[in-house]
Amino acid sequence: MTNAPSHRPAPTIRLVAREAGVSQATVSRAFSQPELLTPATVEKVLGTARRLGYVPNQVARALSTGRAGNIALILPDVANPFFSALMRGAQAQAYKRGYATFLGDSDETAHLEDVLLGKLAAQVDGFVLASPRLDEPLIRKHAARKPVVVINRDLEGIGRVLVDTGPGFTAAVALLAGLGHRAIAYVGAPRSSWSSQQRARAVAAAGAAHGLSVVQIDAGRPSHEAGRDCVAALMEAGVTAALAVDDVVAQGIMAGLAERGLSVPGDFSVVGCDDIIAATTYPPLTSVNARCAIAGANAVDLLLNGFATPAPPTASHVITGELVIRGSTGPAPAQAPARTPARAPAQTIRASRRPSAKARAPAEPDPSSRK
Amino acid sequence: MTNAPSHRPAPTIRLVAREAGVSQATVSRAFSQPELLTPATVEKVLGTARRLGYVPNQVARALSTGRAGNIALILPDVANPFFSALMRGAQAQAYKRGYATFLGDSDETAHLEDVLLGKLAAQVDGFVLASPRLDEPLIRKHAARKPVVVINRDLEGIGRVLVDTGPGFTAAVALLAGLGHRAIAYVGAPRSSWSSQQRARAVAAAGAAHGLSVVQIDAGRPSHEAGRDCVAALMEAGVTAALAVDDVVAQGIMAGLAERGLSVPGDFSVVGCDDIIAATTYPPLTSVNARCAIAGANAVDLLLNGFATPAPPTASHVITGELVIRGSTGPAPAQAPARTPARAPAQTIRASRRPSAKARAPAEPDPSSRK
DNA sequence: CTGAAAGCGCTTACAG
DNA sequence: CTGAAAGCGCTTACAG
């Protein structure tokens, strides 16, 4: 396995030095510490460097200095809108501060997280671990080797960014109470993630404060389908509003309601969380904004700022999500929607170029959501 | 700026050699070419390596061999569902083949693409460039230095993966014609991307073949909002169905129709493209599947396979997108929908924890879509 | 202000 | 089958 030799090798510092008539050290300084050189020297070196198309080799630099100039972002699923937004914020911030970003998708597994952390360790100066699935001892093991900042996991002594959506959910319950709802549901994730737990608690507490009856429903792995599937349970419970662990599930709930001929917010109110896709549904979702992009950027800042200090990052940074009220919440209906049977789901047919259309399951995975 | 010294330095090959009583060369071979060594030696070395927690330093290895073991994926917007899915497929395939992935988000700008390509060049063995905004000469310049595979850009002599959605759009037009539609619209991107051009041509040709009247509408930068905004133009044009450049725009069109009290597919039919979010809307979108994840994986394969050959990748790999029929397409209405004025858009209010709710624009960027 | 030289942690012909 | 040694392309005390 040879690297395609047809690609000419990049010019090195030695060539630039020779062409400019200076030493390698001078070329190096022209790039990394120009203030140590005469402006004329810097100009001369940079000029010939540009002419030759020279760019400092980051790999050699990393080996020499011990600093890679890279970070890695490890997350459970890049296709999930929450993580996409987070990634966008993190990558942009890292770039702005001169760092390149490795992307590691753990496919929701703790094992892959562990492997990725190990493989990338030598090439990065630190990690941002979003909603890690890894158990605490392993996270701490990796954090002992390289600086680590986690997002949405509260680990004492490890740098972390926590998105506090509790107040947003509290506000959402208050909104529903004000609209006359008396029985509501929280639709959450299974082995409660830190985020889902937090949201469930906020709903329970606020519900009690307003004298509402609150049922908790476990949707399983949060996905559009999971949301749709739990609509039966919502009808059974006799509630008139649901707060979901995230927008994907909320959107699924809206689809399930529509299949039963129920309208939102006329017959039922729905609240989501994250506020990434919430503005694009119809009706647009009332949702708790999780400031995903900001969380990603803050995590990168926390990590990079830590490089300048002797101790690893250990601070915890809390971001508060606010409620954004849109069109999926309205006055409580006169009575809870009847247990309407679902209509047959809309047909899905995959047509090829050939006239014969054949029914098949879509190959692309559902954009699902677990945080 | 020092790297946090509290993180103990990783053990090196020298330490392992000393501890195992062998030379560095032997330790190196135990990891990279164990077949050259006695099984006993390999075992001894690997054992002490494990005991010391030694992992080969990828940076040193890269400098020495000239192979980084990394690739970079450059794309216009990670928050766009199309690219998220593509990224997922690419990253997973690279991992499967032993490569780590750098992520570069160009934020839709040609300049950032250029910079990222330059900065990452030394750290990667090649690039996957998805829907590049860069002009052809610059792409060729970079491709002359490092292997490059582009996605959805047809550049002779450069490795590329092209998703051909033409047949899918042709099938979609046939579907609409069969449902009795006589006047349809294609809603595309502005400075036509390769993808949008291709789709527009397919719609025009198929429309002519079926004797339909076809209008082309430019939605500007493809986004949910752009889709919603062009509904007025659709009404004006008197069409009864629209095919959109992607699902995000299609979803926007559905929202705009809903705001006017028009139902899909009763009053109007909508077709999208990409098939990532199509299954999650209500009604679920009929959409041309763009096999995004597969495109990403194929691009990585094309790139990595090229490393084994002397010449850079130059093949072009075409993936055909098929039409997936769901609930947003139906029989043509008796007559084109009247020019109903839009109702006031659903209110958006952001509520803080404090009782006073204040109206503000959401901070998160709209997940938009340009490919 | 500039240069000669050692060193970062590996790999790999070249000997033996 | 194993080792001594050069080299990958930089950076950085150390001299001058």
Quick check: A367 pLDDT over 60?
no
Quick check: A157 pLDDT over 70?
yes
Q: CB–CB of A296/A86 below 8 Å? A: yes
Q: How close B252 gets to chain A, by Cα (Å)? A: 7
CATH superfamily of domain region A70-163+292-318: Response regulator (3.40.50.2300)
Per domain, the residue ranges of chain B are: 13-56, 70-159+293-313, 166-291
Q: Do A87 and B66 touch (CB under 8 A)?
A: no
CB A41 within 7 Å, strand D: no
Structural tokens at position B217:
């509408």
Q: How close B93 gets to chain A, by Cα (Å)? A: 11
Residue-wise pLDDT for B325-340, tens only, equals 999 999 999 887 765 5
Residue-wise pLDDT for B337-362, tens only, equals 765 555 544 445 555 433 333 333 33
Q: Do domains B70-159+293-313 and B166-291 have the same CATH topology?
A: yes
pTM, two decimals, is: 0.85
Q: Which has more confidence, A314 or A16?
A: A16
Nearest to A77 by CA among A143, A130, A152, A14: A130
Q: Do A78 and B78 touch (CB under 8 A)?
A: yes
CA Rg value for chain A: 26
Distance A13 CA to D6 C1' (A): 19
CB A32 within 7 Å, strand C: no
Residue-wise pLDDT for A162-198, tens only, equals 999 999 999 999 999 999 999 999 999 865 578 888 8
Which member of A100, A105, A357 has the closest CB to residue B88?
A: A105
Quick check: A41 pLDDT over 90?
yes
Structural tokens at position A174:
């208050």
pLDDT of residue A122: 84
Residue-wise pLDDT for A342-353, tens only, equals 554 444 555 543
Q: CB–CB of A324/B362 below 8 Å? A: yes
Let me know if B289 is exposed, middle or buried by CB neighbors in 10 A (0-12, 13-18, 19+).
buried
pLDDT of residue B334: 85
CATH superfamily of domain region A166-291: Response regulator (3.40.50.2300)
Nearest to B187 by CA among B129, B142, B134, B235: B235
Task: State which residues between 62 and 121 of chain B bring their CB within 7 Å of strand D.
Answer: 63-64, 66
pLDDT of residue A307: 85
Q: Provide φ and ψ at A67, rounded to 5°.
A: -110, 130
User: Which of the listed CATH numbers 3.40.50.920, 3.40.50.2300, 3.80.30.20, 1.10.3720.10 matches domain B70-159+293-313?
Assistant: 3.40.50.2300
Quick check: A141 pLDDT over 80?
yes
Question: A132: cis peptide before it, omega within 30°?
Answer: no
What gap in Å lies between CA A17 and CA A22, rounded to an integer? 5
What percentage of residues in chain A have a pLDDT greater than 90?
Answer: 70
Quick check: B30 pLDDT over 60?
yes
A13-56: CATH topology: 434 Repressor (Amino-terminal Domain) (1.10.260)
* Chain B contact set for A147 (CB, 8 A): 4, 7
